Amino acid sequence: MLSPFDLLIVGAGPVGCVIAERAASQLGWKCLIIEKRNHIAGNCYDRFHESGILIHQYGPHYFRTNSKELLDYLSQFTGWIPGNYIVKSSTRGELFNFPINLNTLEQFFKTSLDENKGKALIEQIREPIETPGNSEEFVLSRVGKEMYEAFYLGYTLKQWDRHPKDLSASVCGRIPIRFNRDCRYVDHDYQVTPDHGFTAMFANMINHPNIQVMLQADYLELKKEITPKRATIYCGCVDDYFEKKLGALPWRSLEFDFREYDKEYLQPCVQINYPNEHEYTRSVEIKHVTGQKHPRTTVSYEYPRSKGDPYYPIPAPQNAELYQRYQNLAEQETRENRVHFCGRLATYKYMNTDEAIESALKTFEGIKELYG
């Protein structure tokens, strides 16, 4: 059956919202977004907790980008506040700056350093591995065994239920190591947070007469009933699309325990990591980032899980091989049935929000070229 929609978009996360917005406002296309959950914004979803505090329901999202163009695009839908992304790591009974910087080195080795002395110290303790082939080798080659064991090994085992040896170097390689006193979690040029939250930003983005959203709707059930005039954008799990016929792609999941405290702040900064204590990996007091003024506070404790919603693809060779086989099927589906696969779940990639949005803009340019 032909539908009155030009595009059918599966998933109302960042990718689905961006593609709908571009197609609706730039090309005048009618878009239907169908979403399994009862809300938009995907894992960026934030909402007011019973306490009245704005929380990031699916874990903290620290928005950052190096692209002024991307920031300008999003600025049509939100104002910004500065991103106050400060993380500390609790190990050996003390709180350290994390990522590792000069302050961390000084506190850890109980010495005082400047940039040159810090580099000389690291040169003595790092392991001479030229091309790290996994996350363990990556960290050993950057900071040596003692700091690897204090800051990375336990956290990574908890987070992934795998040894860092069995994870690609890109996993721990996400975290910078610095020889200055910069305490920010990431290095990007623009580190900002939507001033009314992510959900509000995405709601503004898709607030357009050409865009319709159906929540709590299952694509596999509706598939036969809705045939878009131009194309389908699929942002769900790629193996689900093919009914897992090649086997299930493994994902790492999370469970969050939100606790409320009767004080303005519990932590000195938004996030504390616990590499070697507790069952949870980190505690997050998002008020430090949202800037909300409230006499009470909420802290979430994050428990990695092997079952549950898909959060992180697991970057290991056999998973990459399985994904490659699904990707071949997906490409065939694109050619034969105009279904385009985009985003973290559909491409089995560990993406930050800015990267997901960049990929959506790229997919949009592709479909405009093909069907515009």
Dmax (CA) for the chain in angstroms is 72
Residue 305 carries which side chain, given as an amino acid letter? Answer: R
Residue 289 belongs to what H/E stretch? helix 287-290
Per rule CB under 6 A, is residue 347 in the interface with ligand UDP?
no
Residue 367 belongs to what H/E stretch? helix 353-371
Choose one: 126-134, 172-180, 284-292, 317-325; the region binding ligand UDP (CB under 6 A): 172-180
Residues 271, 284: contact at Cβ < 8 Å? yes
Nearer to ligand UDP, 9 or 284 (CB): 284
Nearer to ligand UDP, 89 or 199 (CB): 89
Q: Comparing C-alpha atoms, which of 95, 227, 141, 170 is closest to residue 355? A: 170
Choose one: 28-36, 64-72, 169-177, 237-245; the region binding ligand UDP (CB under 6 A): 169-177
To ligand UDP, the closest distance from the beta carbon of 302 in angstroms equals: 8
Q: How many residues sit close enough to ligand UDP to count as binding (CB under 6 A)?
A: 13
Per rule CB under 6 A, is residue 356 in the interface with ligand UDP?
no
To ligand UDP, the closest distance from the beta carbon of 151 in angstroms equals: 5
Burial environment of residue 10 by CB neighbours within 10 A (0 to 12, 13 to 18, 19 or more): buried
To ligand UDP, the closest distance from the beta carbon of 252 in angstroms equals: 9
Q: Tokens 């997906």 appear where?
A: 330
Nearer to ligand UDP, 33 or 284 (CB): 284
Q: Comparing C-alpha atoms, which of 268, 267, 303 is closest to residue 282? A: 303
Per rule CB under 6 A, is residue 151 in the interface with ligand UDP?
yes
Question: What is the SS3 assignment for 69?
Answer: helix
Per rule CB under 6 A, is residue 148 in the interface with ligand UDP?
no
What is d(CA 313, CA 304) in angstroms, rounded to the nearest whole number?
13
The site for ligand UDP (CB under 6 A) is made up of 89, 98, 151-152, 155-156, 159, 171-172, 174-175, 273, 275
